[in-house]
Structure 1
Amino acid sequence: MKRREFFKKGTTAAVAAGVIPLVTASCVGAKDMVYDRKQDKWFDLGTGKTGSNSRKKTVAYDVAVIGGGAAGICAAVAAARNGSKTVLIQDRPVLGGNASSEMRVHLNGVNNIKGKAERETGIIEEILLHNRFENEQESFPVWDHVLYDFVVREPNLTLMLNTQAIEAVMDGDKIKSALCWQATTEILFTINAPVYIDCSGDGLLAATSGAEYRTGREGKAEFNEKFAPDEPDGWQMGATLLMSSKDMGKPMKYSPPSYAIKYTHEGGHKRRKFAGFHEGIWWIEVGSDDDIIADFEENRHKLMGYLHGVWDYIKNSGKFPEAENLALDWVGSLPGRRESRRFIGDYIVSEKDMTEHKHFDDAVAFGGWSLDEHNPGGIENISEPPSYFHYHFEEVYQFPFRSLYSKNVSNLMFAGRNVSQTHIALSSSRIMGTCALMGQAVGTAAAICNKKNVLPREVGQKYIKNLQEQMLRDDAFIPKRPANDPNDLARKASLIFGSTTSSGDAKKLINGFSRDIDGKNNHWQSDGLSADLQLEWESSISLSYVELKCDTNLQRNIMMRKDSRNDELYFNGIPNELLKSLSLEARVNGKWIKLGVIEENRTRLIKFKFDTIKTTAVRIKMTETYGAENVKLFEVRCYA
C-alpha cells in the first residue's frame, strides 16, 4: 500500500497497516509463532521436561491505561486512588515518555503567563515535588526511577513495562480486550477491562478499535482558524533528537560518524539559535506530510545524521571557540515525537476555543503554552524559523471533557497529544504538563464509570459535576470553576480563624478557589510561626478526614531543567513556602485531643485520616515550612 493510500482508505486500512504482523492472527493465520508454541523443542535440563511454558495470560482490571508518559501516569494514579483496580501499560523500559532519560525533554506546562508561571497542581505537581526531594542532582536516569517509585507505591495500581498494546478485540462499539505483547517475557497478555484510556501518543490500541481519528493540518475554513494553512494538508510536526555534552577541561577532538549529514547553517533563519547548544538543540527535527508513524525509522536515522552534522559544525567550523573543551556525553537514539494521530471526540477543540477563552461547562483541564507550531520541514527547511509561536496567552484556557473520549468507541478515553483537537490547538496543548491534567481528568472519570456503571459519554452528560468536584478535591484546578462540594463540612463551619494573619482572610479557605488567580487573593497567611488555624461548628459533627492545600508558590516552575535555572520563573529546589511540620487536634467533650502529626510533609495537598469522632472544633497547628517565615494556606476541607 502506498503511504498516500494509507489515509485515503480510512480507518480500516489504517488498522490493518498499524498492527504488528507476528501477533495478529488475521495477518499470519491462527497458528503462528506466538499463539501456538506446540512446535517449541525446549528441553529443560533442570526439570527434565520437554515442551514450552504457556506464553499467554488473561488478566482483568477495572481500568486499563495505555502509555506511561505524564498523561498516562496521572490517569492511572487518579483511577487507582479513586477506587479502580488499574493497570498501566508502557512499551518502554522506563516511564516518562518524552521527559524520560531516553529523550530528556523538559516537562513544561503553563510556564509563563503575564511574566509569571501559573503552574499545574494535582498529581503532576505531586510528581515534580517528589522529584525535588529524591533527585536534587537533577539526573534524568534517576528521574526515571522517581517516576517508577511514584507509580509502584500505589496499592491499587499494576505496572507493566516493555509492553505494547497492539490490538483491540471489539464487542460491538466497545473494546472487549486489549492484546498486549511484553517483549522481555514473550508473553501475550489479554487484558480485559470495562474502560480503556489510550495515552500512548500514537494511539495504536485506539486505532485498531476503529476509533475515528485524523492526521495533518486543517485548512482555515473548517474551524475558522487564523493560523491554519489556507488548504488542509498532511503535515505533522516533527520529532526531535537531543544530546548533551561535557566540559572535559582540555581540547577535545570530534570526528563525525559515517552516517552524519553535513550541516553548514547557510541560509539559516535568525531564530535558529545555538544558545545552550551544550544541552541539545530543539530544532534538530524532522516531520512528515504523510504517514509519520510509518516514517519513524527513516526519520530516526536522518535525525541521528543531522544531530552529528550539527555537532560537527559546532566543533569544527571554527565559529564556536567555546566548544573546544566540550565532548558529547549523551546522545539520544529515540526521537521525541510531537504529533501523529488525533482521535475524534464529541467536540474538537480548535484555535479560537483557546485564544478567545471559550467557557466549557464540562471543563476539566487547562493550558496556556503558546500556539507553538513547528515549521513544515524542520531542519530540512532552515530558512524558516524553528517554530512560529503564533500566539502568546495572557491567561489560561479551558479544555473540555467532551474532547477526551471517543466519538464512536463507547468505552475509550484518551489524554495527551492524541485527543480531539485541531493541529493548531495541538501546538499548545501537546505540552506535557497540560497532557498530565487531561490524564488526571480521564483517570478520575474512569473511576466514576466503574462506580456508577456508566460509559464516558454518560459521565459527561450526567456526572460532570461529580467529576469536576472530585478533581478539585484532588487538587486539580479548573479555570473559573470554584469547588462547591456539598459534603465538605468546612463550608458549614460557624467560625474559621487564624491565630495571626499577615495577608488574606481565613474565611477565603472555603471560597472554592485553591490558588490566587486573576488578580484575586484566595489565601490566608500567618504572621510568623508557629501558627494555628481553627474551625468551629455550632453543633457536634462526625469527622473522619481533614484536608489542606498549602503553598508551593505556583508562580515559579519546579520542573527539572538541564540548565538548573533558579530565578523568578524557575526553582530547582524544594519550594521554601511548602508547609513541613503540622499537627491536627479536635475538641471532644470540651478537651483537645491529637488526631495526627506530620513531621516532613512533601505535598501541597495534605490529608489527615482518622477514626470517626464527634467534635465541635478542629485546630491545625503549623510549626515549620521549608524556609518561608510565614505559612500560607489556600483551602481547608472536612469530611465525615
Structure 2
Amino acid sequence: MKRRKFFKQTAGAGLLSGLLPLSIRVNDDPVNLGKRSNDHWEQMGKGKIGIPKRQKTVQYDVAVIGAGMAGISAAVASARNGAKTVLINDRPVLGGNASSEIRVTVNGVQSLQNKHRVERETGIIEEMLIDNWYFNPQESYPVWDHVVYDYVSQQSNLDIMLNTQAIDAVMHDSGTIKSAICWQLTTETAFTINAKYFIDCSGDGLLAATAGAEYRTGREARSEFDESFAPEVADGWQMGATLMMITKDMEKPMPYYPPSFMIPYQAEKAHDRKINQFKEGYWWVELGSDDDIIADQETNRHKLMGYMHGVWNYIKNSGEFPEADNLVLDWVGSLPGRRESRRFMGDYILTQKDMETYKHFEDAIGYGGWSLDEHNPGGIENLSEPPSYFHDRFNKPYEVPFRSLYSKNIKNLMFAGRNVSVTHIALSSTRIQGTCALMGQAVGTAAALCLSHQLSPRMLAQNNIDLLQEQLLRDDVYIPNRPSRDPKDLARQCQVIFGDSTATGDAKLLLDGISRDEIDQIHHWSSSSKPAQLQLEWLEAQPISEVLIKADTNLQRKIMMHKNPDKNEEQILAVPPELVRELVLEARVAGAWKEIAQLSDNRRRMIKLSFAPVQTSALRIKFKDTWGADQVKIYEVRCYS
C-alpha cells in the first residue's frame, strides 16, 4: 500500500471500507476521522444511547472537487454526458470566487483589440448567467447563490456535497486515484469517495497535491519559456488574494468608526491606486506571497481585513472625499478571493508566447482572451509600485489545449480553473472565471467520454481528440479555428434549407459548423421580422428524434452581474432580447405537417428539442417570438436520430 492510503490495516485484518476507521497520519501518528468510540449520543425521546455513525463510503463515476465556475461546469457537463457525478465543495454555497462570500465578477473574454471587443463564452456558464437575470434582476449576491444552486441541483445524475473538503487521496499502485477522503464539517462525517475519474477544480488543489500530482508555484524565469513579462530570475511570488466590500447610501451623513484591527492606509505613498468610486471596494487591497500562499492564508486574511478598513477609514475620515459622507459599509468580505497557488503540470504548459502568437493547438477545447495582467507581487504592502504593471490586450481569442487540463503523472486526474498547467504569466489571463468555466466544461465532458470509451485523459488527447471537440461544439462551446464536422448531424445531409424571409446572412450558413459570427465572417441567418420560419428538406425520409438550435444572445454584449451598478451601462439586466422565446417544431410525415415539439419561455441559446423518433423528409421550425427583438437570428441547426 502507498502512504496516501487512509485506511488503517492491522495485522490479520482485511481492508473493510466503511467499517474500519478512516485514518490520516499526522507526524506519523494515526488520526482517525469520524471515529466515535467515546461519543455516546443519548436520544432522550427513545431512551437510547449509541455511538453516532460518522463514516460513509460512496461510489461515483466522476468526482469533481471545488464548485466555482470551473467545478460547476465540469460537474454539470460530466452528468449531462452520462457519468454519475458528485460535486464536492468546502463552502456552504456554490460559486467559489463568484459566490456571495467573495463576490468576484464573472469576467470573460473582453477588451479585445478588434471590432467585437467582447467574445462571450457560451455553454454552461452562459446558461447560469442568463438564469440569473431571469430570477435575480435585483442583482442580489445571496440570491445569485440560490440561482446557481437551483441550476446545479436540477441536473440529473449529479449529487452535491457542501461544507465538505477533500483532504487526501487513496492511491492505486497503478498511479491512479482510488478514493478521495473528505471531511464534512456540518455532519461530522468522514466520506470515502470512490470514483473512476477525479477533477480537481478547487483552486489550491489539495486532493491533486496529496495524490502526488506534479505542480509548480511561483514565477518562471524569463529564459525558460521566452516570456518577455517574466522576471529574469525565477522566484516564489504568487499573485495575491483580495477582499472586497459594498457600500450603501443612507441619504444622510453617517460616521464611520474603524475596528481595532484596522491598518491605516498610507495614501501619500500609494502609486496609481485610484479611489474613483465608492461602491464596490478595490481589487488592489491584495496580498500575495513569495513562499507558501496557502500556509499564509489566515495571516493574510487578518491583514487584508485591516487594510480594507484602512482604505475605507481614509475615504470616510480623511476629509478628502466629502461625497462619501452619506455612505456606509453594507457588506464586507471575510473570505479572500485567491488568484494563484498551485499550478498542476500537464502534458503541455501554456505560455505567454503561445497566447501572443495565437498558437493553434490540434487539441484545443476552448479559448481565452482576458489581458495578460501581472500584479504587483507585494500588493498593498508594496505601495511604491503600481498594483498592476500592465494590461497587455489581445487582438483575438487564443486557444487553450486539452493537454494542459490533465495531470502528466496521475492517470485519472484532470483539473480546471486557476490550477491548470500554465506558466505564472499565462495564468494572469487564464485565471478569469469565464475562461475557467470553459476549461471546466471541457474536462467534465472529457471525463464522461473517457468513462464511456474506457480511456485515460492522455489517450483521449492523443487518439480521440475529435470525439471531445465534437461533443463540446455540439454542446455550444466555441473553439477557435475548429468548425464542427459531426458526421452524425443529419442536418448537414439535407438538400435544401431556407427561411421564409432573410434580412442578413443565409440559411445555408446554419450548416457550416460555426455557431457564432467571427470577425468579418457571418455565420447566421436572420429573418426580416417575427414570427419567422425555417425549413429543412431531404430527398429521402430521415429518422430524427432530436433537433438542436443555436439562437442569438448577442455574444458581443456583457451579461455578468456587477457589484457596482454603474458598470451595467452597456448591459441589459434581463434575458437577452434577441433570444428566441417561443417556437414550434413540425415534421412532414406521410405528406402532412405534424407538430412534434414546442417550447415557451426559453432561456437557452442552445435549444434542445427531443421527441419520439419520426421518419420525415422535412422539418419546419416556427419561431413565434423572442424576448423583445423584432427579428429572429439563428446560428446553427442540427438534427440527430
TM superposition score normalised by structure 1: 0.95
Q: CA deviation at 1:42?
A: 2.6
Distance in 1 separating the partners of 2:274 and 2:30: 55
One-letter amino acid matched to 1:344: M
One-letter amino acid matched to 1:612: P
Map 1:418-567 onto structure 2 (within 5 A): 418-565=419-566
Q: CA deviation at 1:382?
A: 1.6
**For 2:25, what is the secondary structure of its paired residue?**
helix
**Structure 1 138/567 Cα, relative in aligned 2: closer, same or farther at 3 Å?**
closer
Map 1:102-251 onto structure 2 (within 5 A): 102-113=101-112, 114=114, 116-172=117-173, 173-251=175-253
Q: Deviations over 1:493-538 (max 9, x none)?
A: 0000000000000000000100001220000000001110000000
Distance in 2 separating the partners of 1:513 and 1:463: 21
In structure 2, what is the equivalent of residue 43 of structure 1? 42
Distance in 1 separating the partners of 2:475 and 2:377: 40
Q: Deviations over 1:51-90 (max 9, x none)?
A: 3121000000010000000000000000000000000000
Map 1:231-630 onto structure 2 (within 5 A): 231-270=233-272, 272-565=273-566, 569-630=570-631
Unaligned ranges ≥5, structure 1: 1-11, 16-21
2:279/2:563 contact within 8 Å kept: no
Distance in 2 separating the partners of 1:225 and 1:358: 14
Q: Deviations over 1:235-287 (max 9, x none)?
A: 001100001111101100011111100113112113x1112232111100111
Distance in 1 separating the partners of 2:572 and 2:563: 12
RMSD value, Cα = 1.6
Distance in 1 separating the partners of 2:29 and 2:291: 32
In structure 2, what is the equivalent of residue 8 of structure 1? none
Distance in 1 separating the partners of 2:153 and 2:221: 44
**For 1:121, what is the secondary structure of its paired residue?**
coil
Q: Deviations over 1:263-317 (max 9, x none)?
A: 13112113x1112232111100111000000000000000000011110000011
One-letter amino acid matched to 2:369: G
518-527 vs 108-117, greater mean Cα deviation: 108-117
Distance in 2 separating the partners of 1:634 and 1:567: 26
Distance in 1 separating the partners of 2:348 and 2:517: 30
One-letter amino acid matched to 1:547: L
Q: CA deviation at 1:24?
A: 4.9
Q: CA deviation at 1:30?
A: 7.4
**For 1:277, what is the secondary structure of its paired residue?**
coil
Q: CA deviation at 1:39?
A: 1.9
One-letter amino acid matched to 1:616: S
2:23/2:33 contact within 8 Å kept: no
**For 1:508, what is the secondary structure of its paired residue?**
helix
Distance in 1 separating the partners of 2:121 and 2:31: 47
Q: Deviations over 1:402-447 (max 9, x none)?
A: 0000000000000000000000000000000000000000000000
Q: Deviations over 1:189-219 (max 9, x none)?
A: 0000000000000000000000000100001
In structure 2, what is the equivalent of residue 9 of structure 1? none
Distance in 2 separating the partners of 1:178 and 1:627: 48
380-389 vs 81-90, greater mean Cα deviation: 380-389
1:588/1:616 contact within 8 Å kept: yes
Percent of matched pairs sharing the same residue = 62
497-506 vs 571-580, greater mean Cα deviation: 571-580
160-169 vs 45-54, greater mean Cα deviation: 45-54
**For 2:337, what is the secondary structure of its paired residue?**
coil
1:93 matches 2:92: yes
Map 1:41-80 onto structure 2 (within 5 A): 41-80=40-79
Distance in 2 separating the partners of 1:569 and 1:23: 54
Q: CA deviation at 1:386?
A: 1.2
Distance in 2 separating the partners of 1:35 and 1:608: 47
Distance in 1 separating the partners of 2:22 and 2:244: 33
**Structure 1 373/23 Cα, relative in aligned 2: closer, same or farther at 3 Å?**
farther
Distance in 1 separating the partners of 2:311 and 2:379: 14
Distance in 2 separating the partners of 1:445 and 1:410: 13
1:117/1:569 contact within 8 Å kept: no
- Number of residue pairs the alignment of both structures matches: 621
2:548/2:639 contact within 8 Å kept: yes
2:548/2:637 contact within 8 Å kept: yes
Q: CA deviation at 1:461?
A: 1.2
Q: Deviations over 1:446-499 (max 9, x none)?
A: 001110111111111121101000000000000010001000000000000000
26-35 vs 365-374, greater mean Cα deviation: 26-35
Distance in 2 separating the partners of 1:562 and 1:390: 22
In structure 2, what is the equivalent of residue 4 of structure 1? none
TM superposition score normalised by structure 2: 0.95
One-letter amino acid matched to 2:528: D
